[in-house]
Chains A and B, each alone.
Chain A
Amino acid sequence: MGLQLTSEEREMLEGKHGKATKKAMDLIVNLGEIYGAERLIPISSVQIAGVSYHNLGEAGLEYLSDMAVDGKARVLTTLNPAGMDLEEWKKHGISEDFALNQQRVVDAFAKMGVITTCTCTPYLIGNLPHYGEHIAWAESSAVCYSNSVIGALTNREGGPSALAASLTGRTAEYGFHLQENRIAEVKYEIKTELKHTDDFGLLGQVIGERTRKKIPYITGIPQATTEELKSFCASIATYGGIAIFHMEGITPNRTDIPEDTEIVTQEDLNQARVTMDDKDAEIDFISIGCPHASIKEISQIAEMLKGKEVVEGKTVWITTARPTKDLAKKMGYYDTIEKAGAFLVSDACCAVAPLKGRFKGLMTDSAKACFYARGKNDFKTEIRTIEECIREATA
């Protein structure tokens, strides 16, 4: 049969809606043909990755600037974290040069009508699809969260393909947009109690590495908070490339229950912790908010920091989305956190900011942050609960 286009889609491909839309449609049609799609489908929400200038470089920025000449977002579109807090970057030690280039990236997106809230948790700040909605998201942790926890449908888009979906309002119907590709393939029975966000991150690492892209059906977790689920999603996506999982009693998607069963014990989580804990780590950087901290986490951290002081030689970043930071300012959490000598950093995170060489050892509650701190920044790492991280910062 091959890929069928509507007349409007053909017009976009022929360049009748401008150059950027043509390039975008070209990319989507190409992907549709490669992956055997029979048609394109409308999408209602986009999340774009590839925002930090640190990751994009000059060539990436050029690509975006080309698209921004006449490209316009057709649906609600938000952005992944940038390499810095777009307002308070100076006090976080970001260079003028970097800030200038980062602003050029954000300006290019703004020109296209993209909402320039830079966050990896768009679902916490208003880009919140509902069950069954087709969307085109990049950012592996948010893809996993939207497919699994929300029950929206998206592939793991890359930066350019997510932008293309935004400019055309379409994506090709293949992969996780089709119900038959979302069915669980292997069951994981969790035989231990998960207490905090760091435990959920460890579980993500265990299942991610073991499951080899097979869709997990997870049992034995009686309840999980939004914060714990976002930690789990980030970790299983980082360590396993997983875009969807099912969790009995917690996630909404329908699925068959697989026969093939694996057991996860406390010993497995302990092993995962050992792989993320460097024995000789000298902790001088504490970061919480990978994925971006919720207002609930920020209020808890502010409570922990009340009347305390970050010790000399240690830097604390609590990373979050700008609307959440604004709310934290209104509620007084920002003042409490900053008065203690910690930073409430919005728009950025410890994985995409230009931090190489600035620190030796990172303590965090995030398994994903450990991965990028080691791989990209050569930091040693330790994974602990949020409470232990704050204690380390102020002890």
Chain B
Amino acid sequence: MKGRKIFGGNTEGEVLATKDDISFYGGCDPETGVIVEKGHELEGQSISGKVLVFPTGKGSTVGSYVLYALSKAGKGPLAIINKSTDPIVAVGCIISDIPAVDQIDIEQLKTGQKVKIDADEGVVSII
């Protein structure tokens, strides 16, 4: 699948996918990476070390710092794949060196799948 580079880098890992948008500020614990938003499809699950797949970001502009805090603590997602990346998540990826790609048909990506990401080229492949 070919999309748009948000922030470059190569990696491969396991998908954690959701149909719900994510608010990192208030919706994700900045120390553990666990999604804490009530009623969220991923509530109680950790995004640490996963290829996190979600439609787009929502909520407060402080969200970029949550991604940064997670990465500094080694609890960040391995990569991010969006339908459409909003500026808050984009800034979070850029300052935290998280490879990210958007304009991907994310419905084809399922939790547990192994994927390879070449973010510089905007390419996501299912292994």
Contact = CB atoms under 8 A, between A and B. Distances in A.
Interface of A: 26-27, 30-31, 34-35, 49-50, 55-60, 62-63, 138-140, 155-161, 241, 375-376
B61 A57 contact: no
B95 A63 contact: yes
Nearest to B93: A30
A30 B7 contact: yes
B58 interface: yes
A375 B28 CA distance: 12
Given A34-B4, A241-B58, A63 B68 contact: yes
A27 B95 CA distance: 8
22 contacts: A31-B91, A34-B6, A50-B61, A55-B25, A56-B62, A59-B68, A59-B69, A59-B72, A62-B72, A140-B60, A157-B87, A158-B61, A158-B62, A158-B63, A158-B64, A158-B91, A159-B64, A160-B68, A160-B91, A161-B87, A161-B91, A376-B26
Interface of B: 4-7, 25-26, 30, 58, 60-65, 68-69, 72-73, 85, 87-88, 90-92, 94-95
A81 B4 CA distance: 35
A59 B65 contact: yes
Nearest to A174: B87
Given A34-B6, A158-B87, A57 B69 contact: yes
A160 B61 CA distance: 9
Given A50-B62, A59-B73, A34 B26 contact: no
Contacts of B26: 375-376
Given A55-B25, A62-B72, A160-B95, A50 B87 contact: no
B94 A159 contact: no
Contact of A30 (B63, B64, B94): B94
Contacts of B90: 30-31, 34
A49 B85 contact: no
Contacts of B68: 59-60, 63, 160
5 pairs of A and B residues whose beta carbons are closest in the complex: A59-B69, A60-B65, A59-B72, A158-B61, A158-B64
A159 B61 contact: yes
A346 to B, nearest CB: 21
A157 B69 contact: no
B87 A56 contact: no
Nearest to A155: B87
Given A55-B25, A63-B95, A159 B65 contact: yes
Contacts of B30: 57, 59
B58 A140 contact: no
A160 B64 contact: yes
B65 A50 contact: yes
Nearest to A137: B61
Contact of A156 (B73, B87, B92): B87
A163 to B, nearest CB: 10
Nearest to B23: A375
A140 B58 CA distance: 12
